[in-house]
Structure 1
Amino acid sequence: MGGLREVAASFVVPGPSGVAVRSGLKGLSGQDEAVLRQVGGLLGSLASRDLRVRCAAGLGHDSELWARRKRALSGESSSRWAGSITRATHDQWALARRGQLAHMQSLRAGVETITYRLAQPVGAKGSKGASGGYRSEREWFAKSRRLHVLEDRLVRVRADWEAGRVRVVRGGKKLLNSRHHLEAAGLTEAQWRLRWQAERWFLQADGESGKPYGNETIRVTPGGEVSIRLPAALAGLANAPHGRYVLACRVRFHHWGEQWADRVTAGRAVAYRIHYDPDRNRWYATASWQNPPVQTVPLETARAGGLVGVDMNVDHLAAWRLDQHGNPVGEPRRFDYQMDGTAQHRDAQLRHALIRLLHWAARHGLALAIEDLDFAAEKTRERHGTRKRFRKLISGLPTARLRARLVSMAAELGVAVVAVDPAYTSRWGAQHWQKPLTGKTRKPTRHDAAAVAIGRRALGCAIRRRTAPPPHDRSDRAGHRTVQAASGTPGREGPRPRVPGPRTRSVPPGRGAKAGDQSAHNRSGHTAEHEPWLQDSLPLSF
Structure 2
Amino acid sequence: MGGLREVADPFVAPGPTGVAIRTGLKGLAGQDVMALRLVGGQMGSLASRDLKARCAAGLAHDSDQWAQRKRALTGQSSSRWAGSVTKATHDQWALARRGQLAHIQNLQAGVDMITGRLSLPVGAKGCKGSPGGYRSRREWFAKSRRLRLLEDRLERERADREAGRVRVVRGGRKLLRNRHNLQAAQMSEAKWRVRWEAERWFLRADGESGKRYGNETIRVSPDGEVSIKLPAPLAGLANRPHGRYVLACRVGFRHRGEQWADRVAANRAVAYRIQYDVERDRWYLTASWQTPPVRAVPLEAVRSGGLVGVDTNADHLAAWHLDIHGNPVGAPRRFDYDLTGCASHRDAQARHALIRLLHWAKRYGAAIAIEDLNFQAEKTREKHGRRKRFRRLISGMPVSRLRGRLVSMAAELGITVVSVDPAYTSRWGAQHWQKSLTGKRRKTTRHHAAAVAIGRRALGHPIRRRTAPPPHDRSDRAGHRTVQAASGIPGREETRPRVPGPRTRSVGAGRGAKAGDQCAHNRLGHTAEHESWHQDSLPLSH
TM-score normalised to structure 1 length: 0.92
Number of corresponding residues? 525
**In 2, Cα distance between equivalents of 1:394 and 1:26:** 40
The alpha-carbon deviation at position 116 of structure 1 amounts to: 2.1
Q: What are the residue-to-residue correspondences of 1:241-390 with 2, within 5 Å? A: 241-390=241-390
CA 501–172 in structure 1, closer or farther in 2 if over 3 Å, else same: same
The equivalent of 2:145 in structure 1 is 145
The equivalent of 2:236 in structure 1 is 236
The equivalent of 2:108 in structure 1 is 108
The equivalent of 1:220 in structure 2 is 220
**In 2, Cα distance between equivalents of 1:70 and 1:161:** 25
**In 1, Cα distance between equivalents of 2:510 and 2:482:** 23
The alpha-carbon deviation at position 495 of structure 1 amounts to: 4.3
The equivalent of 1:522 in structure 2 is none
The equivalent of 2:206 in structure 1 is 206
**In 1, Cα distance between equivalents of 2:300 and 2:367:** 11
SS in 1 for 2:374: coil
**In 2, Cα distance between equivalents of 1:496 and 1:437:** 23
CA 539–478 in structure 1, closer or farther in 2 if over 3 Å, else same: farther
Residues 247-279 of structure 1 show CA distances to partners (whole Å, capped at 9, x for unaligned) of 111111111111111111111111000111011
Asked if the contact 2:472/2:478 (under 8 Å) is kept, the reply is: no
1:407 aligns with 2:368: no
**In 2, Cα distance between equivalents of 1:98 and 1:509:** 65
The alpha-carbon deviation at position 219 of structure 1 amounts to: 0.8
Give the unaligned 5+ runs of structure 2. 517-534
**In 2, Cα distance between equivalents of 1:126 and 1:469:** 34
CA 481–511 in structure 1, closer or farther in 2 if over 3 Å, else same: farther
**In 2, Cα distance between equivalents of 1:513 and 1:276:** 85
Asked if the contact 1:467/1:483 (under 8 Å) is kept, the reply is: no
The equivalent of 2:436 in structure 1 is 436
Structure 1 stretch displaced more, 410-419 or 117-126? 117-126
**In 2, Cα distance between equivalents of 1:174 and 1:163:** 25
**In 2, Cα distance between equivalents of 1:380 and 1:481:** 41
RMSD (CA atoms): 2.4
**In 2, Cα distance between equivalents of 1:476 and 1:426:** 32
SS in 1 for 2:33: helix
The alpha-carbon deviation at position 296 of structure 1 amounts to: 1.0
**In 1, Cα distance between equivalents of 2:351 and 2:239:** 41
Q: What are the residue-to-residue correspondences of 1:69-218 with 2, within 5 Å? A: 69-218=69-218
Asked if the contact 1:117/1:133 (under 8 Å) is kept, the reply is: yes
The equivalent of 1:18 in structure 2 is 18
The alpha-carbon deviation at position 537 of structure 1 amounts to: 8.5
Structure 2 residue identity aligned to 1:215: N
The alpha-carbon deviation at position 389 of structure 1 amounts to: 2.3
The equivalent of 2:51 in structure 1 is 51
SS in 1 for 2:317: strand
The alpha-carbon deviation at position 516 of structure 1 amounts to: 7.2
SS in 2 for 1:378: coil
The alpha-carbon deviation at position 127 of structure 1 amounts to: 2.5
The equivalent of 1:398 in structure 2 is 398
The alpha-carbon deviation at position 61 of structure 1 amounts to: 1.4
**In 1, Cα distance between equivalents of 2:108 and 2:419:** 29
**In 2, Cα distance between equivalents of 1:364 and 1:537:** 89
Asked if the contact 2:13/2:417 (under 8 Å) is kept, the reply is: yes
**In 2, Cα distance between equivalents of 1:539 and 1:334:** 91
* Identity across the alignment (%): 77
**In 2, Cα distance between equivalents of 1:482 and 1:536:** 57
The equivalent of 2:37 in structure 1 is 37
Residues 280-305 of structure 1 show CA distances to partners (whole Å, capped at 9, x for unaligned) of 11110101111112211111111112
SS in 2 for 1:105: helix
Structure 2 residue identity aligned to 1:106: N
Give the unaligned 5+ runs of structure 1. 518-534
SS in 1 for 2:378: coil
SS in 2 for 1:187: coil
**In 1, Cα distance between equivalents of 2:93 and 2:320:** 43
The alpha-carbon deviation at position 504 of structure 1 amounts to: 5.2
The alpha-carbon deviation at position 432 of structure 1 amounts to: 0.3
CA 513–230 in structure 1, closer or farther in 2 if over 3 Å, else same: farther
Residues 126-171 of structure 1 show CA distances to partners (whole Å, capped at 9, x for unaligned) of 2234432211000011111111211221122122112111111110
